[in-house]
Chain A
Amino acid sequence: MSATTQAADARVMSGAEIVLQALKEQGVEVIFGYPGGAVLPLYDALFQQNAIRHILVRHEQAAVHAAEGYARSTGKVGVVLVTSGPGATNAVTGLVDALMDSIPVVCLTGQVPTHLIGNDAFQEADTTGITRPATKHNYLVKDIAKLAGTVHEAFYVARSGRPGPIVIDLPKDILIGKGAYSEAPQVPHRSYRPKTEPDMGAIRHAVRLLRAAERPVVYTGGGVINAGPEASRLLTEFVRMTGFPCTSTLMGLGACPSSDPQFLGMLGMHGTYEANLAMHGCDVMLNIGARFDDRVTGRLNAFAPDAKKIHADIDPSSINKNVAVDVAIVGDAARVLAALIECWKAEDAPRQDRAALARWWDRIEGWRGKDCLQYRQESRGVIKPQHAVKRLYEITQETGRDTFITTEVGQHQMWAAQYFGFEKPNRWMTSGGLGTMGYGLPAAMGVQIAHPDALVIDIAGEASILMNIQEMGTLAQYRLPVKVFILNNEYMGMVRQWQELLHGGRYSESYSAALPDFVKLADSFHATGLRAKTIDDLDRVIHEMLAIDGPVIADIAVAKDENCFPMIPSGAAHNEMILAPGQQGGVAGVTDEGKVLV
């Protein structure tokens, strides 16, 4: 046999081997998955190699969230492997979560052999049909000759343009069959080529508006995080060189350092007073990598009524979707920021009205003086949830450790966003668009796998944490020292808050009855359980939690009736915010029209 035919023979392998080879070529080091009948050939191939590590989760939804945590904290594509039928359907929530929050994930699903597709075979589901609106794109591989190319394309599509989840459905006969491996193509994709370089005409137009602005505001989102750490650095540079105030969506926290005096905090439904009023009162708004989500805009016809709006986004379909803008810039956030900086510095750029900007800052400082995030923590007795997050932040700061925060969904999530400061991008993992309870624990697993030495904390609620509590088993198996910090108010707090404010205090089904003993629960999962009942316990429990080199559940009993403020009620405008009691009169009325909104 000649050397060439030998080389050619070496390229012929099983479908399962082709998949793993393609993953390796794409730089994959870890897969989050759960085995089953249809993917047994892939698990057999995984068993016989050492290049790719497999993390066995306890539920397929958690595999996707773990891959999301891995992806968001590293900037790499997260990879998931699940079986056919229920394996795939269980993954759907995670896929939609990744779609809404633009997280690059490749999810491999098993499928019944091609000759049985459509026959209602055991563990068969129409996975590509079910996941079509749940993914950025999906594939069903019915020809082994296309297998390697499909995997390569999936990674390209997942990470290009606005990132998102991709499903590759793999029939069992394709995984068992023999075929040739092909390397990733070096030619551009035949149809999917997102534009990343901004149009310089639009950039110059934007800079002219920004230079002439008297009341500017920069509003940034997850797109800046997705564009890589360089985008966050450029954002900070741009904000400092212009002297503009900067606010961020939930997804964008960490791009502009929270300690920067020009950072106004988060905006939107539970954003700060100063951020929302700056948005309402601005005359020029620069949106980079955010999508005018309803949580952010409030009532649309009262949104920033006097502002010229500039919107930079990598996804053209995000522009002019909810809010009509004056200048549209399609491009990658880092390239857009670099172009804005260059254009701002240009010799012929018009002069900036610094006096007007100073007057604008005076107004903003006035709003800031309201101190909208203040709360009253009594020196004895019940722990305020805000205080618990604030102390957690302060104490983790003292440790100096690189800290990553994930959350579940609800009040605790908003308090985490409000009271935990983020100085760097990729340190904050939360389910923003879909609002998936049960996201935080598996996401923390993924983060800890990617950053074994970092401090990873899931700030949770007692209701959300139960939605994926089985993942405590995964923490134990892989010795992942994730800290679960539960703000336990014995209520689905955000549901309770809305029922109090909008539904006459009728707390329909929002009480967390029959809760487990979280300390014993931790113990049964080979973790350490801690509990803080009063304010006297809080600091000690946080210190103890951080000192333990292993998974911990810290059950923090907090005030049961605390509400999350400020709040823009549904259907209200930014300047119709409700502040905490004592800062402003009673609750503003919510119209029936507003009640319809979620």
Chain B
Amino acid sequence: MPEGTEIGQRSATIAVLVDNEAGILARVVGLFSGRGYNIESLTVAPVDEERRQSRVTIVTTGTAMVIEQIKAQLDRLVPVHRIADLSLDGPHLSREMMLIKVAGAGEERMEALRLAEAFRARVVDATTGSLVFEMTGAGEKLDAFIALMRPLGLKEICRTGVCAMARGPRGLQA
């Protein structure tokens, strides 16, 4: 970060539509590591089979100047079609999915089930000694649920990272 331009950091959720080709994820990740940008969350999956396109969602933090840089640098990559700064462009939805495994019995197990119901987590696997919950929501909600599960025999967590989309009729198309 250049000296003298230090101002407040902000978090940005950036959606990137890319050609689904070998090495594209390495290009995006290499750009962030090579230039010293933060990655807080990164998700990628194909979204258009016909056009062979994938969508990458990146959550990052930086000063306004750094975030502008990140977007300009991403836009310079040849296989990148579109970029949207969801945090800047208006209201947006941001969701994460999580699988969380809790092992325990008796009162702890009952408490975990009660909390899961309150959080609208679904039981997707159960044994006599364990439960796996599936839960979708904003990152903070997932964080809160994890904190509650910790004393109840938390064994394992798997989170997808952020999946985000702007509200309203406009779409992100190439």
Give residues in A with beta carbon < 8 Å to B: 128-129, 132-133, 136-137, 140, 157, 190-192, 299-301, 315-317, 319-324
A323→B2 contact, CB < 8 A: yes
Q: How far is the CA of A562 from the CA of B67 in the complex (A)?
A: 45
B78→A300 contact, CB < 8 A: no
User: Which size class do B's interface residues fall under?
Assistant: 20 to 34
A321→B80 contact, CB < 8 A: no
* Chain A residue, CB-CB nearest to B82: A191
* Interface residue stretch chosen among B18-26, B95-103, B138-146, B153-161: B18-26
B72 on the interface (CB 8 Å rule)? Answer: yes
B56 to chain A, nearest CB (A): 14
Give residues in B with beta carbon < 8 Å to A: 2-5, 19, 22-23, 26-27, 30, 34, 65, 68-69, 72-73, 75-81, 174
B78→A132 contact, CB < 8 A: no
A309 to chain B, nearest CB (A): 13
Q: Which of A129, A157, A190, A322 contacts B2 (CB 8 A)?
A: A322
Q: How far is the CA of A317 from the CA of B2 in the complex (A)?
A: 15
B27→A300 contact, CB < 8 A: no
With a CB–CB cut-off of 8 A, which chain B residues contact A191?
Answer: 19, 78-81, 174
With a CB–CB cut-off of 8 A, which chain B residues contact A128?
Answer: 23
With a CB–CB cut-off of 8 A, which chain A residues contact B80?
Answer: 191
Instruction: List the 10 closest A-B pairs by CB distance, nearest first.
Output: A301-B4, A317-B72, A137-B78, A191-B81, A316-B72, A192-B78, A300-B2, A317-B73, A301-B3, A133-B34
With a CB–CB cut-off of 8 A, which chain A residues contact B174?
Answer: 190-191
A317→B3 contact, CB < 8 A: no
Q: How far is the CA of A301 from the CA of B4 in the complex (A)?
A: 5
Q: Which of B27, B75, B79 contacts A132 (CB 8 A)?
A: B27
Q: Which of A132, A157, A301, A319 contacts B23 (CB 8 A)?
A: A132
Q: How far is the CA of A593 from the CA of B69 in the complex (A)?
A: 25
Q: Which of A136, A140, A190, A317 contacts B69 (CB 8 A)?
A: A317
B22→A140 contact, CB < 8 A: yes
With a CB–CB cut-off of 8 A, which chain B residues contact A299?
Answer: 3
Tell me the total A-B contact number using a CB cutoff of 8 A.
52
A133→B30 contact, CB < 8 A: yes
9 contacts between A and B (CB under 8 A): A129-B23, A137-B77, A191-B81, A300-B2, A316-B75, A317-B75, A320-B69, A321-B72, A322-B2
Q: How far is the CA of A321 from the CA of B37 in the complex (A)?
A: 13
* Chain B residue, CB-CB nearest to A140: B22
* Chain B residue, CB-CB nearest to A301: B4
A197 to chain B, nearest CB (A): 17
B146 to chain A, nearest CB (A): 35
Q: How far is the CA of A301 from the CA of B3 in the complex (A)?
A: 6
A364 to chain B, nearest CB (A): 26
With a CB–CB cut-off of 8 A, which chain B residues contact A322?
Answer: 2
A190→B34 contact, CB < 8 A: no
Q: How far is the CA of A123 from the CA of B68 in the complex (A)?
A: 41
Q: How far is the CA of A217 from the CA of B75 in the complex (A)?
A: 31
Q: How far is the CA of A190 from the CA of B81 in the complex (A)?
A: 8
With a CB–CB cut-off of 8 A, which chain B residues contact A324?
Answer: 5, 65
* Chain A residue, CB-CB nearest to B26: A132
With a CB–CB cut-off of 8 A, which chain B residues contact A323?
Answer: 2
* Chain A residue, CB-CB nearest to B174: A191
* Chain A residue, CB-CB nearest to B68: A320
With a CB–CB cut-off of 8 A, which chain B residues contact A137?
Answer: 77-78
A157→B4 contact, CB < 8 A: no
* Chain A residue, CB-CB nearest to B81: A191
Q: Which of A157, A190, A300 has the most CB of B within 10 A?
A: A190
B115 to chain A, nearest CB (A): 45
With a CB–CB cut-off of 8 A, which chain B residues contact A132?
Answer: 23, 26-27, 30
* Chain B residue, CB-CB nearest to A319: B72
B74 to chain A, nearest CB (A): 9
* Chain A residue, CB-CB nearest to B18: A191
Q: Which of B19, B65, B79 contacts A320 (CB 8 A)?
A: B65
* Chain A residue, CB-CB nearest to B80: A191
Q: How far is the CA of A268 from the CA of B118 in the complex (A)?
A: 64
Q: How far is the CA of A424 from the CA of B78 in the complex (A)?
A: 33
A576 to chain B, nearest CB (A): 15
